[in-house]
Amino acid sequence: MVSLILISNINSKIRISSETFLKWDDDPVISIGETFSNLPRFLIPLEISSGEKRVAASPETVKKLIALGCHVTLEVGAGLSAGFLDQDYKIAGADLVSKGDSDPWRKTDVLLCVNPPPSESLLKMKQGALLIGLLEPYGNIALAKTLEKGGFSAFALELLPRISRAQSADVLSSQGNIAGYKSVLLAAGALDRYFPMLMTAAGTVQPAKIVVLGAGVAGLQAVATARRLGAVVFVSDIRPAVKEQVESLGARFINLPDFQDNPSESGGYAKQASEAFLSAQRQQLSDHLAEADVAICTAQVPGKKAPRLITEEMLDRMRIGSVVVDLAVEQGGNCAGTRAGETVDRKGVKLIGASDLPSTVPNHASSLYARNLLALVEPLVSNGELTIDSNDELIDGCMISFQGDIRHPEVFSFGGAH
């Protein structure tokens, strides 16, 4: 069997190791099959959230996990929506099991997922199992109760520190890149005009004007994609430090309102701005939006409701046929009137509530997500043993529970999203 134990408080390490327990009257000769069963056992489930097409492991990363000394089990069909065949996983060395089979869950040491499985599925796992994924922890009291009840450990990837060493494991960045890219394609498909300037025999077509709100990972990718399509791009962000990045991509930075204490950033995220600052910024944006063809909203603050940047009054000034794509819609939206997963026609202005965009590019989204998970797990595994150092700031930041003990209770009481 594989056990999860706390070594000591001196080095604050947690270890999942291969240990074989034999009765005195057992045959001391262990077959290869029995030895294999003692390796840390990873399970990749079929994602069941509505519209979710991603998977937490690719055949490439399964092969690498096995090379590290792990035993990998995958539910049949888990990768099909992302373009990965069951046979590809089997060739990589994974065991395939039917969805709904409880036995693999009971034997699991580490569960890799995209979204958190339902509580009834998680509670099939043995006590001390480790859960890794986008666990939606903010305000998620139900998840906290499940972790406590099952005695589970958990890494919430939303909480990975935004530090240089974490870049290869940064799920939010890899998935945000896809969201920013796809948001521009959605806008281009819905807009009643071309993006690029075109010179034709019938005359010259002027380029579309795009306003991107927020210059994080998704926003910068939106800028780059819109520029590749030939649009003129303006960017609004509360952090003056991003101006250089914006301009390096060929966009124009909208200068900030003149406040004594302009917002900055913390841990790679924009800090919550004051309402007075946001009000002044909205006034400034109103004139730009009145001339814009597309607005792409990407401004989010972890664990909090998204700032409302585009008001009803600002929408009234946008021209008929223009488009707003709101990537923050699931956090309440940057734009008034957007609804998750829907396109709303508001007086001729199309409001696109762009939720779950990474899942609309499932092959590349899954490949990148799986590599992020591998980058997080790989340094922790050696010779079939998984050792976790809670003094490591990377681990400490995202490990929300250890064997049912909630380590960051403020996260679960933060936001009240669930």
CATH of the domain at 284: 3.40.50.720
Q: Whole-number mean pLDDT of the chain? A: 87
Residue 353 has pLDDT above 70, yes or no: yes
Backbone angles phi, psi at 201, to 5 degrees: -65, -25
Residues 340 and 404 in one domain: no
pLDDT of residue 277: 74
Q: Please list the active-site residues.
A: 162, 167, 170, 173, 269
Residues 332 and 183 in one domain: yes
pLDDT digits over 278-294, tens only? 777 778 899 999 999 99
- Note whether residue 163 is domain-resident: no
Per the model's pLDDT, the better-predicted residue between 248 and 33 turns out to be 248
pLDDT of residue 38: 65
Residue 312 has pLDDT above 90, yes or no: yes
pLDDT of residue 349: 98
Write 367-370 long-range contacts (CB < 8 A, 24+): 367/58, 367/60, 368/174, 368/175, 368/178, 369/54, 369/56, 369/114, 369/171, 369/174, 369/175, 370/55, 370/56, 370/57, 370/58, 370/60, 370/61
- Note whether residue 288 is domain-resident: yes
Residues 354 and 232 in one domain: yes
Number of domains in the chain: 2
Residues 52 and 148 in one domain: yes
pLDDT of residue 157: 96
Residues 296 and 247 in one domain: yes
pLDDT (mean) for 10-19: 47
Residues 20 and 143 in one domain: yes
Residues 55 and 196 in one domain: no
pLDDT of residue 98: 96
Residues 109 and 188 in one domain: no
pLDDT (mean) for 98-110: 94
pLDDT of residue 415: 54
pLDDT of residue 382: 80
pLDDT (mean) for 30-58: 77
Residues 67 and 124 in one domain: yes
Residue 318 has pLDDT above 90, yes or no: yes
Domain boundary among 319, 339, 360: 360
pLDDT (mean) for 143-152: 96
- Note whether residue 180 is domain-resident: yes
Residues 266 and 383 in one domain: no
- pLDDT-derived band of residue 25, with 50, 70 and 90 as boundaries? very low
Residues 286 and 314 in one domain: yes
Residue 114 has pLDDT above 90, yes or no: yes
- Note whether residue 22 is domain-resident: yes
Tell me which residue range forms the domain holding 398: 2-152+362-412
Residue 36 has pLDDT above 50, yes or no: no
Residues 116 and 237 in one domain: no
